[in-house]
Amino acid sequence: MCGRVYLKTNLEGLLRAFSFAKREGVEGLANQLPRFNGAPSQYYPIIIRDVIRDDGVMGPVFISARWGLIPSWVKERKPGQPAPINAKAETIATNGMFRGAYKSRRCLVPIDGFFEWKDIHGTGKNKQPYAIAMKSGEPFVLAGLWETWRDPATDEDTRTFCVVTCEPNAMMATIHDRMPVILRRQDYDRWLSPETEAHDLMMPFPAELMMMWKIGTKVGSPKNNEVDILDPVE
Confidence at residue 231, expressed as pLDDT on a 0 to 100 scale: 97
Is the predicted pLDDT of residue 56 greater than 70, yes or no?
no
CB-CB contact of 67 with 44 (8 Å): yes
Q: What is the pLDDT of residues 184-233, one digit of tens each?
A: 999 999 999 999 899 999 999 999 999 999 999 999 999 999 999 999 99
Contact predicate 27/55, CB 8 Å: no
Residue 27 has pLDDT above 90, yes or no: no
Q: Alpha-carbon Rg of the chain, whole angstroms?
A: 17
Residue 107 confidence (pLDDT): 97
Q: Does domain 5-74+81-230 have CATH number 1.10.3720.10?
A: no
**Residue 5: predicted pLDDT:** 98
Confidence of residue 55 (pLDDT cuts 50, 70, 90): low
Judged against a pLDDT cut of 90, whether residue 120 lies above it is answered with no
What single-letter DSSP state applies at residue 195?
A: -
- pLDDT tens string 73-118: 888 777 777 899 999 999 999 999 999 999 999 999 999 999 999 9
pLDDT confidence of residue 96: 92
Condensed to tens digits (0 to 9), the pLDDT of residues 125-170 reads: 789 999 999 999 999 999 999 999 888 888 889 899 999 999 999 9
**Which pTM was predicted?**
0.94
For the stretch 140-163, what's the b/e string if a residue is b when 16 or more beta carbons lie within 10 angstroms of its beta carbon? Answer: bbbbbbbbebeeeeeeeebbbbbb
The pLDDT of residue 123: 63
pLDDT at 145: 98
* Most distant pair of Cα atoms in the chain: their distance: 57
Candidates 107, 116, 162, 166; catalytic one: 116
Q: How far is Cα 99 from Cα 87, in angstroms, rounded to an integer?
A: 10
Residues in the chain: 234
Annotation marks residue 147 as catalytic? no
116 catalytic per annotation: yes
